[in-house]
Amino acid sequence: MKLQRNNRLRAIAAGALAVSGVLVLTACGSDDNSGSSSGGGGTKTDASNIKCEGKGQLLASGSSAQKNAMDLWVKNYGAACKDVKLNYKATGSGAGIQEWLQGKTAFAGSDSALKPEEVASSKKMCKGGQGINLPMVGGPIAVGFNVPGVDKLTLDAKTLAEIFDSKITNWNDDAIKKLNKGVNLPNLKIQAFHRSDDSGTTDNFTKYLKAAAPSAWPHEPGKAWEGKGGQAADGSAGVSSQVKQVSGAISYFELSYATASSIKTVDLNTGASAPVQATVDNASKAISEAKIKGTGKDLALDLAYDTKAEGAYPITLVTYEIACDKGNNSDTLAATKSFLTYVASEDGQASLKELGYAPLPAEIATKVRESVASLS
């Protein structure tokens, strides 16, 4: 039964990526792995529950971690709302925020909340208002690996920090052996890959390393990679592709990329009674511990990266859609609210789990819908 379910998840995620490939070809100004536009095929939704508003082209960009979810949302919304053509480009969180701050897009996708200086900059563009964070996608950041002969691997935060900071450089290192007794670890160089672009996934991954292994990770968390050594690739698609192809590779990316490419993922020794797998349900346990730290209509979350709760997978991200609370572009406001209302709805969130994402906890989803409804 478990094997059948895993195969089903891989097939669904692979199908989403296949749909994504078609969407990329039709998206204006996009390149491989960087865009989506309204198209056909994929998960069904009840179109009667989507309230269409506005018309014309709706541009958005940012997080590549939410790309597979966005592809499905755009497809479903486009099937119901023929007058709106939405183009989401997975440029990475940092680039997405910058394009939005420059007024080039209606909203941005980011795997981390706006920084204070970004909020300040947003006030120039949001006439009479400012940028707010609307959590929309949750899920685990998987640590994928490609070690010949090794099907199951357990690591802890300290060991991960030392691997990604080039302090542990071989797969048969004693620290890895200690966590994997009975596993035949090869004498093979570790090929650690990180994101080359400014990435909210990097921000969340390094927040985990800093929170759970502060003595082993001396760098400050952030969208830009600060660790020593390693190799870089662009986007979640880029780093996951390297892990798939390169013997000895390890990297971090959103779970659906691992599922779609059949990449093995690390189990985490968090201090709980048993190592924790990177699954949607285990990530949901960690996300459910998050606290809202934003004020007013801003719903930025404080995630529990150092949790030791049983079965809670701590390397999680929540992707935000970022828009103005007041002062949104009047030409795209109606379509923006219509689309975000759909993705925050029960229908929109229900499609996430089979792609390897965690639907928002009910209490948070309710607040998101209220904030979206108030956008002006």
In whole angstroms, what is the distance from residue 127 CA to residue 326 CA? 7
Section 299-306 average pLDDT: 94
pLDDT in tens, 194-228: 999 988 899 999 999 999 999 999 999 999 999 99
Residue pair 72/55 in contact (Cβ under 8 Å)? The answer is no
Residues 6+ apart with CB under 8 A from 280: 139, 140, 255, 353, 356, 357, 358
Query: Which pLDDT does position 289 carry in this prediction?
Result: 85
Query: Which pLDDT does position 362 carry in this prediction?
Result: 87
| Whether the predicted pLDDT of 17 surpasses 70 | no
Q: Would you say the C-alpha torsion 47, 51, 55, 56 has a positive or negative sign? A: negative
pLDDT in tens, 137-152: 998 999 999 999 999 9
pLDDT in tens, 314-370: 999 899 999 999 999 999 999 999 999 999 999 999 988 878 788 898 889 999 999
Query: Which pLDDT does position 307 carry in this prediction?
Result: 93
pLDDT in tens, 154-177: 999 999 999 999 999 999 999 999
Residue pair 246/191 in contact (Cβ under 8 Å)? The answer is yes
Say if pTM beats, i.e. exceeds, 0.85.
Answer: no
Query: Which pLDDT does position 30 carry in this prediction?
Result: 29
Q: Would you say the C-alpha torsion 11, 13, 16, 18 has a positive or negative sign? A: negative
CA-CA distances (angstroms) from residue 162 to 153, 190, 215, 229, 301? 16, 11, 10, 11, 28
Query: Which pLDDT does position 49 carry in this prediction?
Result: 83
Query: Which pLDDT does position 356 carry in this prediction?
Result: 79
Query: Which pLDDT does position 338 carry in this prediction?
Result: 98
Please tell me whether residue 141 adopts helix, strand or coil conformation: strand
Average pLDDT along the chain: 88
pLDDT band (50, 70, 90) for residue 48: low
- Residue spans of beta strands (DSSP E) within the chain: 36-37, 56-62, 84-89, 107-110, 131-146, 154-156, 191-195, 231-233, 249-254, 264-265, 267-269, 291-292, 301-302, 316-324
In whole angstroms, what is the distance from residue 21 CA to residue 44 CA? 19
Q: Please state the φ and ψ torsions of residue 145, each to the nearest 5 degrees.
A: -140, 155
| Whether the predicted pLDDT of 35 surpasses 60 | no
In whole angstroms, what is the distance from residue 121 CA to residue 45 CA? 37
In whole angstroms, what is the distance from residue 312 CA to residue 363 CA? 19
Q: Which two tokens stand for residue 197?
A: 């672009």
